[in-house]
């Protein structure tokens, strides 16, 4: 029945609470016992202290005179209902009692002998009488003017009523302790259930989510707005994120499969055409066209595979940077030049004027940076319609002397506001109608991060998109902190 959190609560918290309550109850029983017994002792002491007044003038050595004085004291004793009084002669024999019944001669009076040997002249005793009755007594010695013991007065109280009262109070305290323990256990069990039950349900839900049943998160219910409620919200959000990621992954696999199948189909088709054609019957123009398609689609396949490999390296932390001091203008200009012919063939305008000024160098991997430039410019051209403009510029100003910016702006379809924060996430693809795997921006963003730079995107749907690449300029000595070959 009890396991996990319930078991730990039983062994730790409940055991401590039980120990504390038991100690409190036992301590209170001892206190009550002490108070009752001390009250009896105080009553006996108060009664015996009166003897100093009653026999203060007693000077006779005669036992008859002592007996007469003692009889008068006993007859006039006003606390007969609370305690009994015994008059004892010098030899220790009871000669008179307030009850009128003398105890058995066999009954010992230990407090009389102790009082005689005590310098204070009195002693107390508690125990059982020969009748089996519990009692407490105090004996005070009476001496004459010469200091000779002429007798004693013994006060005795039955402890059975007191012990009965102590028992009643003890039972009340024990019952109260049991009630408190029961309430603690009941409240503890209810509290533990309020924690354990939703956690078990969450565990079962998490297991279903782990096996792909993301709809299980919709059945999560919680009654309290506390940490358990926060955990329920977190599991629901996790399930939603996992469902989104799973859908994005499936879409990614579908897109990549399509991206790979299209060039492979073209390559296979032209290769079969060229193979099946009789030698010498395939004209040069058709042959060149087929070879051009094969080369173009092979290059496209290589690009897709490299993009996938780069993504895999980033995910596993195995991307290697070959860092060196380089001229960012030269690398960017080379990339723009590479895409000029494509822009012209697609009827689009790629505008870029290389600055005449000499800019400070940056420190990084030129091939990876070219990959970033190519990805951003490729996206800009893909999403820009025929007749549209893609403009690029490199900016370095005295206002920001530690960085160089490359700004690429297109007049394409733009990105919706709800898609903009996600476009750099892996597998995410805002526009499903345009070719692409959806991981290019994620790879480019990671490469920029590895260069201590940044990739920022601003866009408006139907307006166009502006991408800003920011690079820290190289300072002498920085290469000591960034080795030539970095494995990240």
What long-range pairs does 334-341 form, CB within 8 A, spacing at least 24?
334/370, 335/370, 335/373, 335/374, 335/377, 336/373, 336/377, 336/392, 338/374, 339/374, 339/377, 339/378, 339/381
Tokens 């697609």 -> residue:
346
Closest to 114 (Cα-Cα) out of 127, 96, 102: 127
- Tell me the pairing of strands 389-395 and 349-352: parallel
Say yes or no to pLDDT of 484 above 70: no
- The model's pLDDT over 233-265, given as tens digits with 9 standing for 90+, comes to 777 777 777 777 777 677 667 667 766 777 788
CB 486 within 8 Å of CB 321: yes
- The model's pLDDT over 341-364, given as tens digits with 9 standing for 90+, comes to 889 999 999 999 888 888 899 999
- The model's pLDDT over 3-61, given as tens digits with 9 standing for 90+, comes to 566 677 767 777 888 889 999 999 999 999 999 888 888 888 888 777 756 665 555 55
- The model's pLDDT over 263-309, given as tens digits with 9 standing for 90+, comes to 788 888 888 777 776 555 667 777 788 888 888 888 878 877 877 77
How many CB atoms lie under 10 A from the CB of residue 487? 10
String of DSSP letters for 421-442: GGTTSTT--S-TTS---S-HHH
Q: What percent of the chain is predicted at pLDDT more than 90?
A: 15
CA separation (Å) from 239 to 204, 233, 412? Answer: 13, 10, 35
Residue 264 is predicted with a pLDDT of: 84
How many CB atoms lie under 10 A from the CB of residue 311? 20
């Amino acid at each position: 029945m009890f396991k996990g959190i319930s078991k730990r609560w039983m062994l730790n918290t409940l055991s401590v609470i039980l120990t504390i309550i038991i100690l409190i109850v036992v301590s209170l029983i001892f206190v009550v016992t002490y108070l009752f017994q001390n009250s009896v002792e105080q009553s006996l002491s108060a009664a015996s202290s009166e003897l100093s007044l009653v026999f203060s003038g007693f000077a006779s050595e005669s036992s008859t005179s002592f007996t007469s004085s003692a009889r008068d004291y006993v007859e006039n004793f006003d606390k007969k209902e609370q305690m009994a009084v015994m008059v004892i002669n010098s030899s220790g024999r009871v000669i008179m009692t307030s009850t009128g019944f003398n105890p058995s001669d066999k009954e010992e009076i230990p407090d009389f002998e102790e009082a005689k040997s005590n310098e204070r002249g009195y002693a107390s005793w508690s125990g059982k009488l020969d009748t089996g009755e519990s009692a407490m007594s105090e004996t005070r010695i009476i001496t004459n003017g010469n200091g000779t013991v002429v007798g004693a007065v013994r006060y005795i109280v039955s402890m059975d009523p007191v012990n009965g009262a102590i028992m009643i109070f003890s039972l009340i305290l024990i019952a109260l302790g049991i009630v408190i323990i029961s309430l603690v256990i009941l409240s503890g069990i209810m509290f533990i259930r309020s924690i354990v039950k939703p956690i078990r349900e969450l565990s079962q839900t998490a297991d279903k989510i782990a096996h792909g049943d993301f709809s299980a998160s919709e059945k999560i219910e919680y009654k309290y707005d506390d940490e358990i409620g926060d955990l329920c919200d977190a599991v629901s959000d996790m399930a939603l994120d996992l469902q989104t990621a799973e859908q994005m992954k499936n879409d990614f696999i579908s897109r990549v499969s399509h991206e790979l199948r299209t060039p492979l189909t073209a390559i296979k088709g032209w290769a079969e055409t060229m193979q099946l054609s009789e030698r010498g019957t395939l004209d040069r123009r058709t042959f060149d066209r087929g070879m051009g398609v094969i080369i173009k689609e092979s290059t496209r396949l290589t690009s897709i595979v490299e993009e996938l490999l780069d993504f895999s390296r980033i995910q596993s932390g195995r991307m290697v940077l070959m860092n060196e001091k380089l001229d960012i203008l030269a690398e960017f200009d080379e990339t723009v030049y590479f895409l000029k012919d494509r822009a012209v063939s697609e009827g689009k305008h790629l505008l870029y004027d290389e600055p005449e000024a000499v800019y400070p160098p940056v420190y990084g991997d030129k091939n990876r940076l070219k990959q970033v430039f190519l990805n951003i410019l490729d996206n800009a051209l893909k999403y820009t319609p025929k007749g549209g403009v893609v403009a690029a510029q490199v900016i370095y100003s005295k206002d920001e002397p530690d960085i160089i910016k490359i700004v690429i702006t297109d007049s394409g379809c733009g990105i919706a506001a709800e898609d903009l924060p996600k476009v750099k996430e892996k597998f995410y693809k805002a526009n499903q109608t345009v070719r692409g795997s959806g991981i290019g921006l994620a790879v480019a963003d990671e490469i920029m991060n590895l260069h201590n730079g940044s990739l920022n995107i601003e866009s408006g749907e139907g307006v166009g998109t502006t991408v800003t690449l920011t690079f820290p300029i190289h300072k002498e000595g920085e290469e000591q902190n960034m080795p030539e070959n970095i494995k990240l």
